[in-house]
Chains A and B, each alone.
Chain A
Amino acid sequence: MSKIVILGAGISGHVAASHLRRKLSKEHEVLVVSPNSNYQWIPSNIWVGVGRMKSKEILFPLAPLYKKKGIRYKQAKAITFHPEGDKTEQKPYILAEYVVGEKKGQQEKVTYDYLINATGPKLNFEATEGLTPGLNKTYSVCTYTHADHAWEGLNDLIQQMKQGKKVKILIGTGHAKATCQGAAFEYILNVEQELRRHKVRDMAEVTWISNEYQLGDFGMDGMLLSYGSMTMKSSEMVGMIFEDRDIKWILGVGVDKIENGIAYYENLDGEHKKEKYDFAMLIPSFSGHGFKAFDKNNEDVTSKLFKGFMIVDADYTSKPYEDWSVKDWPETYQNPSYQNIFAPGIAFAPPHAISKPRKSKNGTAIFPAPPRTGMPSGITAKLVADNIIDSIKSGKDTAHHKGSLGNMGAACIASAGFGITQGSGVSITTYPIVPDYEKYPKTQGRQLGKTFGEIGLAGHWLKLALHYAFIYKAKMRPFWWLIPE
């Protein structure tokens, strides 16, 4: 009998837990340890943040589902890792602390045979002074509670605009090394559409602020894509959309401080500037959770497990941008020191960025961190689960399921406005996610055709269809496994 512990019940943790439970017999234990009581389909937070969906439509409680499916669940958070056990506990374990109920605050050693760290990112708002969701007129859409607040703030502003107030709206990244530009991109287009729907568009100046060097970088070094019968750069495509929607932009900047209605930033020329706003949604930097790890003698072995995020089978040798290769990227998400520990989704430490690193004249690094979106998070979680299943079934460690971001496609269906007949979406797929300049030297490291962009109503329907399909899948309804990650 094996015991598999999964930390986190976000996209990757939940995907791993559900596949493990489906494919392993009941003699094996699957246990999820996560502080959240609800599963949330994060991509639809964009619509919660513009009041077009209620947060209850994008979430469901985990405990009843896990009980029904035979997945054990502790509503607790991991604190420390003990991959060799300790003097009193022979088995490897994690120390977890309950976050609710009678056991709240109690700590417990949770032992495992296999550990999947799917704890995603820490939303590191503290890294930017004054950037706190709901304070200083700044908001976030990274969680459903944040998105609810964002809609309250935006709705309030719309009412003021209806009374004749002219406003400034600022959306983008809130830190010099933030990622997840795609989410902010969706949000700015949705906000812009909602302003038009409420007939107050002419009362607002809408501005995109970002650490990207060019529009459409998305932390992926931009892309060359097929657009209809043309080949276009993502910067041109996003520029076209922004100009058409009268959205201004400020690029290559690191926001470093927020005061009530003022964002302070440094640009690549080293200038320190500020931008006033009445409503801002700025994505914070993402960091690891600051976990510590100890060996059986209680010596600190954090550096064997973590490098901010968790160390996996990537090549972490420091090298210049010109020498980066797809081969640097992990394939099995397995920790090299402790081979029964894995980190899919956002929890693994990337070998380096994807976008070209840039510094301001003052030496401040200003460029996006690499994004790891929902689809690759699900795919990497499933392959980790499959390797564990095969290892358990064969009785020997195997890692033959592989999925490098350099040999995997992703779709980003960015909502550009809600509405069955008035909605719009920007559908972008990239193959591969991390550009492979050896294989595709003439097309910026990606395969044209498989890397394409489309704008239109169908994109909105697609995003809505994915919302329902992925929630159906997450609820483990009949034949859920037929829906791909």
Chain B
Amino acid sequence: MTQRISKYQRFKMMNPIIQFFKFIYLSIKIMVVVAGGHGGTREVKSKVSKLVS
């Protein structure tokens, strides 16, 4: 076994307080990526013509 994740990194990954804030941050970030709109790829892209469902 190779310890690739240091003790300090692991502490940060598993600390409930740090992770609580990470949870909020990740939730918002994921919403931005996933619910942030989608569209086609074949039309000329301009803000007006890009149709978002």
Using a CB–CB distance below 8 Å, which chain A residues touch chain B? Answer: 240-241, 243-244, 246, 326-327, 329, 331, 375, 379, 382-383, 386, 400-404, 406-411, 413, 421-422, 424, 427, 429, 431, 436, 450, 452, 454-459, 461-462, 465, 484-485
Instruction: For the complex, give the distance between the alpha carbons of A427 and B29 in Å.
Output: 11
Judge whether B53 is part of the interface by a CB distance below 8 angstroms.
yes
Instruction: For the complex, give the distance between the alpha carbons of A382 and B41 in Å.
Output: 18
A-B contact pairs, 20 of them (CB 8 A): A244-B4, A246-B2, A331-B40, A402-B40, A404-B38, A407-B38, A410-B33, A424-B13, A429-B29, A436-B41, A455-B5, A456-B19, A457-B13, A457-B15, A458-B22, A458-B26, A462-B30, A484-B31, A484-B35, A485-B34
B34 touching A459 by the CB < 8 A rule? no
CB distance from A480 to the nearest CB of B (A): 15
Taking A402-B51, A427-B26, A457-B14 as given, write out 10 further A-B residue pairs in contact, using a Cβ cutoff of 8 Å, ordered by the A residue number: A244-B2, A246-B1, A331-B40, A331-B42, A383-B38, A408-B38, A450-B32, A454-B26, A462-B23, A484-B31
CB distance from A388 to the nearest CB of B (A): 12
B33 touching A450 by the CB < 8 A rule? yes
A461 proximity list for chain B (CB < 8 A) = 19, 23
Judge whether B27 is part of the interface by a CB distance below 8 angstroms.
yes
A458 proximity list for chain B (CB < 8 A) = 19-20, 22-23, 26
Instruction: For the complex, give the distance between the alpha carbons of A67 and B16 in Å.
Output: 43
Q: How many residues of B contact A (CB 8 A)?
A: 31
Closest to A406 in B: B41
CB-defined interface of B36-47 with A at 8 Å, one 1/0 digit per residue? 101111100000
Instruction: For the complex, give the distance between the alpha carbons of A465 and B20 in Å.
Output: 13
B33 proximity list for chain A (CB < 8 A) = 409-411, 429, 431, 450
CB distance from B1 to the nearest CB of A (A): 4
B19 touching A404 by the CB < 8 A rule? no
B30 proximity list for chain A (CB < 8 A) = 411, 413, 427, 429, 462
Instruction: Tell me which of A240, A383, A456 contacts B53 (CB under 8 A).
Output: A383
B34 touching A456 by the CB < 8 A rule? no
Instruction: Tell me which of B14, B29, B35, B39 contacts A404 (CB under 8 A).
Output: B39
Instruction: For the complex, give the distance between the alpha carbons of A241 and B13 in Å.
Output: 13
Instruction: For the complex, give the distance between the alpha carbons of A410 and B22 in Å.
Output: 19
Instruction: For the complex, give the distance between the alpha carbons of A383 and B26 in Å.
Output: 26
CB distance from A188 to the nearest CB of B (A): 15
The verdict on A375 contacting B26 (CB below 8 Å), with A240-B5, A424-B13 known, is no
